[in-house]
Structure 1
Amino acid sequence: MSADADLSLETGLAALVDWYVSIGVDIAVDEAPHDRFAESAAPPRVAAPAPVAASSPSPVRRAEPPARETRSQRSAAPVFTEEAARGAREAAGAARTIEELRERLAAFDGCALKATAGHFLFSAGAPGAALMVLDFSPGEEEERGGAAFVGPEARLLDNMLRAIRRDRSGAYLAYATPWRPPGARELNPAEVAALNPFLRRHVELAAPRALLILGDFAARAALGSPDVARYRNAWFDYDHGGGAARALLAPSLASLLRTPAMKRRAWRDLRALAAALG
């Protein structure tokens, strides 16, 4: 095989692996089917002790260093929705500052996404700014690099802020989930129940004059409801538990990149936002 063919094969395999990662594949399987339910229900196998000759002393073994924990091993116990939601309400309600809320959420074990995500990414910009922007989750570039709001969607957001004469020094940017879901899928009901108390407390502590929610995924997580269509195209009051913030639901950044025609609606929302902020 020629050197060019080798390079082409290597490039193709690398692209295939990148694609698998982007859609959430994180484990290799073999070709034979397995009944995982039966395997998990079966009693653990206990190996019979090996016979030891009475005349020979047991060898002294050196202690092995503990194995490093992998992402799939971080969550050892199952996550129960009601228990997780109750723990989230208690942890979020006890936070008195945004930094304390960040620390409590990072230590929270009631959301299964913590076991699969590579990074915990909370926010960027200026806490306490008049404008708070709520995006859904870190993107691929953020997940690879470990920094919040740095990818192509974040760059589009920066351009949108500049269009209304603002930048990150005058806006606070946060995620509905600090852990990227596998394949960037939407949160399931258990994850929403675990993260929603932190989201509401986050908005309450940030106390913005205006809250811009980007996309239906972020809105469903923030509102704790699958029905968000009625919140489009008009201001609404977002109840964060300690009051309400004036909020707008705009298209997601991903949809704006995929479908430029949606930028007309986004521009209308930005003009309304600019007028409200003065």
Structure 2
Amino acid sequence: MEQKYDIAQVLAWYIDSGVDTTCGDVCCLKNQNTPTPKPEMPSIKNRPAVTNLSQTTNEACKNARDLCLKANSLSELRSMVENFEGCSLKLTAKSTVFGAGNEQADIMLIGEAPGADEDRLGSPFVGKSGHLLDKILNCISVKREDVYITNILPWRPPGNRTPTDAEIAVCLPFLRRQIELVKPKILLLLGASAANAVLDNNEPISRLRGRWLEYTTSSKETILTLATFHPAFLLRNSAQKAKTWADFLRVLKKLKEN
């Protein structure tokens, strides 16, 4: 015979007995002392290994140098840079911005790093700085198509921050190989970062600009080199445009002499 229960009486009995939930297969009693589980301590063997940053940078630099030795053309070098995984900047950049222009140019211009516009379009000097550079070149009767333009870094640093020494060191072999493949008569370094990286010094651009220097390739060939202000700097400091104009005229004069 089936028994019928008064639901209200059953619930009242549960409450009197200390039951505080109707969920689950096991009764939970208010007065029952349930031991608090001890927190599980993470196993030491599961902790990630600490990466030696300097060692990683050194390995990346070596990998970059080894790759560059295999590049016999700018197109081969471009492909190597696009597939290179040794620089963290590539993870945050939208594009790999390789050099562009005349691959047999007499003049090679080198800037610091791609900006937001360059990163978006994948070409060097296409933003406001690039437009100013085009105007300066036009004033000395030189077209962008006549020169080769690149940067010391092929990837944009997040927020246009200044690149670190490690980032520059990893990318520098690719730049040096570009110089060797283009074989320009004159290098024009735009800004302190480019000048310091290429010439391997820490002098301020105000002291470097305006005087002829020399860059030595891995094959011991020397290239006439001149440093000047970066177009981005000129957009903020128009008073320095006259000095930059004079530097570009020096390049044109030297090119005609040679």
CA distance in 2, matches of 1:231, 1:110: 31
Gaps of 5+ in 1: 1-38, 45-76
Deviation of 1:244 (Å) = 1.9
C-alpha contact (below 8 Å) 1:121/1:138 kept by paired residues: yes
Q: Give the structure-2-normalised TM-score.
A: 0.74
Per the alignment, residue 174 of structure 2 pairs with 198
Q: Identify which of 35, 59, 74 aligns with 1:98.
A: 74
Report matched runs for 1:15-164 at 5 Å: 43=46, 80-164=56-140
Q: Give the structure-1-normalised TM-score.
A: 0.69
- Residue aligned with 1:180, SS: coil
Tell me whether 1:232 sits opposite 2:235 in the alignment: no
Per the alignment, residue 167 of structure 1 pairs with 143
Deviations 1:131-187 (A, max 9, x none): 111111222222233343321111111111111111022111111111011122222
Per the alignment, residue 271 of structure 1 pairs with 249
Specify the code of the residue in structure 1 equivalent to 2:89: L
**May I ask how many residue pairs the two structures share in their alignment?**
209
Call closer, same or farther: CA 1:233–1:136 in 2, change over 3 Å.
same
- Residue aligned with 2:163, SS: coil
CA distance in 2, matches of 1:85, 1:224: 16
- Residue aligned with 2:239, SS: helix
Call closer, same or farther: CA 1:259–1:251 in 2, change over 3 Å.
same
Per the alignment, residue 18 of structure 2 pairs with none
- Residue aligned with 1:127, SS: coil
- Residue aligned with 1:246, SS: strand
Find the structure with the greater CA-based Rg: 2
C-alpha contact (below 8 Å) 1:137/1:178 kept by paired residues: yes
Deviation of 1:103 (Å) = 1.1
C-alpha contact (below 8 Å) 1:123/1:174 kept by paired residues: yes
Per the alignment, residue 57 of structure 1 pairs with none
- Residue aligned with 2:223, SS: strand
C-alpha contact (below 8 Å) 2:99/2:123 kept by paired residues: no
Q: Identify which of 213, 231, 245 aligns with 1:253.
A: 231
Call closer, same or farther: CA 1:222–1:185 in 2, change over 3 Å.
farther
C-alpha contact (below 8 Å) 1:196/1:223 kept by paired residues: no
Aligned sequence identity (%): 37
Cα RMSD for the two superposed structures: 2.4
Call closer, same or farther: CA 1:252–1:183 in 2, change over 3 Å.
same
Deviations 1:117-142 (A, max 9, x none): 11111122211111111111222222
CA distance in 2, matches of 1:224, 1:107: 27
Specify the code of the residue in structure 2 equivalent to 1:155: H
Deviation of 1:212 (Å) = 0.6
C-alpha contact (below 8 Å) 1:195/1:221 kept by paired residues: no
